[in-house]
């Protein structure tokens, strides 16, 4: 609940919807796992931005083409009256939400006009969108592998440093950790898990 003090009349304007909208963001910032996931998503989005721009230009090209092709027809009046309506119609068509309704007016005039929409869907939906999905998956998998490798490297470095600080030598020169050292290792790991990290001595 967010209240804003207004003037000297002690009036408060209550905006509960702001608190409701901020809860998902608070959850993401408070939970480390969710914050790491969103960081990966952001890297994936940055890595695929050029493909997204290419798809937008693809929709833009067919929107301009459709606006010129259907000018003065029933199809033009239903979905291609101006540039913005043409772009929105083709953008929605890429999701197949308005298919085949969007092409029926021109299809009633001549069946060949449906090829405009079929070609757009074949290239855009089955090729470009699948390629974008593959880029998303590849970048996300790469980022996940990098995170796993980084965690493994940090774990190996931690155990190496712990062994270096706590090992003992036998008479034959073999290094080992005795019972007290193993107990200290468990205590260190427990302190890390419980977020009470202690400096190794």
Strand partners, 6: 11
CA distance 133 to 92: 18
* 168 three-state secondary structure: strand
- Per-residue pLDDT tens for 137-168? 888 888 878 777 777 787 777 777 777 766 66
Residues 117-127 have pLDDT tens digits of: 889 989 998 89
List domains and CATH numbers for the chain. 49-139 (1.10.287)
**Residue among 168, 187, 163, 188 at smallest CA distance from 178:** 168
Cα–Cα distance, 69 to 32 (Å, whole number): 53
Per-residue pLDDT at 99 exceeds 80: yes
pLDDT one-digit tens code per residue, 170-191: 666 666 666 776 777 777 766 6
Q: Which of 113, 105, 59, 100 is nearest to 83 (CA)?
A: 59
Judge whether residue 8 has pLDDT over 60.
no
Question: Which pTM does this prediction carry?
Answer: 0.63
pLDDT tens figures, 23-75: 777 776 776 777 777 777 788 888 788 888 999 999 999 999 888 888 777 77
Residue 3 predicted with pLDDT over 50:
no
Q: Taking each helix axis as running N to C, give the angle between helix 129-166 and helix 49-69, from 0 to 180 degrees, rounded to the nearest 10.
A: 170
pLDDT for the residue numbered 194 = 59
Q: For residues 186 and 194, what is the distance between their CA atoms, to the nearest angstrom? A: 12
Report yes or no: 38 and 29 within 8 Å, Cβ to Cβ. no
DSSP lists the bridge partners of residue 11 as 6
In this structure, what DSSP letter does residue 73 have? S
| pLDDT score recorded for residue 24 | 72
């Amino acid at each position: 609940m967010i209240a804003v003090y207004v003037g000297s009349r002690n009036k408060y304007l209550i905006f509960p919807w702001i608190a409701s909208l901020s809860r998902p963001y608070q959850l993401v910032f408070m939970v480390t796992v969710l914050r790491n996931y969103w960081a990966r998503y952001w890297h994936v989005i940055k890595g695929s931005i050029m493909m997204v721009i290419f798809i937008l230009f693809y929709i833009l090209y067919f929107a301009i083409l459709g606006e010129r092709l259907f000018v003065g027809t029933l199809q033009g009046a239903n979905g291609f009256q101006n540039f913005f309506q043409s772009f929105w119609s083709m953008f929605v068509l890429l999701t197949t939400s308005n298919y085949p309704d969007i092409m029926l007016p021109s299809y009633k005039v001549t069946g060949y006009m449906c090829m405009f929409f079929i070609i757009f869907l074949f290239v855009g939906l089955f090729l470009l969108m699948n390629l974008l999905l593959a880029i998303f998956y590849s970048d996300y998998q790469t980022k996940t592998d990098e995170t796993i490798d980084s965690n493994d490297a940090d774990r190996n470095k931690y155990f190496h440093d712990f062994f270096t600080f706590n090992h003992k030598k036998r008479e034959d020169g073999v290094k080992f950790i005795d019972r007290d050292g193993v107990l200290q290792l468990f205590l260190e790991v427990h302190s890390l898990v419980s977020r009470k990290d202690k400096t190794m001595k």
